[in-house]
Structure 1
Amino acid sequence: MLQPSIDSLQTKINSKYTLVTVSAQRARQLREHPEKFNHPEGAQSVNFVGMALEEIEAEQLHYTLNEDDVHETI
């Protein structure tokens, strides 16, 4: 079973698309510069995506929406 669960992660970030994007960007940061980052207390995952998801669950990772970059498509 995936830990943390998708249901608990969606209480932190309500969009699955945003959740995937944020966790992928964070996993890339962890992969490229692992020496710069600390793992959350009690981290269980050994892969970078899992670590990113655990950081979201522990509320150590947040995102902000830049509305200037949002464009509507007609």
Structure 2
Amino acid sequence: MSMITYPSMGKLLKKVDSPYTLVILASRRARQLNVGARGLIEEYKSKKPVSRSLEEIAAGKVTYEIKRRN
């Protein structure tokens, strides 16, 4: 089992409201990258889609909006 070392968990959690949101956001973006979506940053430290999605989140290139139910 490997731990996330880059980007740091602290930096990632500053971009989202909860760890659960981070997991959903990263997995959705990783799926997009896996099927050929263009990268949002110029240089990645990793080759794996999940790690790349985390790098994009840390860079502020992938964001989210919470839709409130009425």
TM-score, scaled to structure 2 = 0.85
Match of 1:14 among 12, 17, 25: 17
Tell me, yes or no, if the aligned pair for 2:33 and 2:39 is still in contact at 8 Å.
no
Residue of structure 2 in register with 1:50 after alignment? 51
Tell me, yes or no, if the aligned pair for 1:8 and 1:57 is still in contact at 8 Å.
yes
Residue of structure 1 in register with 2:7 after alignment? 4
RMSD between aligned residues: 1.7
Tell me, yes or no, if the aligned pair for 2:11 and 2:58 is still in contact at 8 Å.
yes
- Classify the secondary structure of the residue corresponding to 2:69: helix
TM-score, scaled to structure 1 = 0.80
Residue of structure 2 in register with 1:67 after alignment? 68
Higher helix fraction: Structure 1 or Structure 2?
Answer: 1
Residue of structure 2 in register with 1:72 after alignment? none
**Would you say how many aligned residue pairs link Structure 1 and Structure 2?**
67
Letter in 2 for 1:10: L
Percent identity over the alignment?
Answer: 34
Tell me, yes or no, if the aligned pair for 2:44 and 2:52 is still in contact at 8 Å.
yes
Distance 1:26 1:14 in 2: 17
Q: Point out where structure 2 has 5 or more consecutive residues left out of the alignment.
A: none
Q: Give runs of ≥4 in structure 1 deviating > 3 Å.
A: none
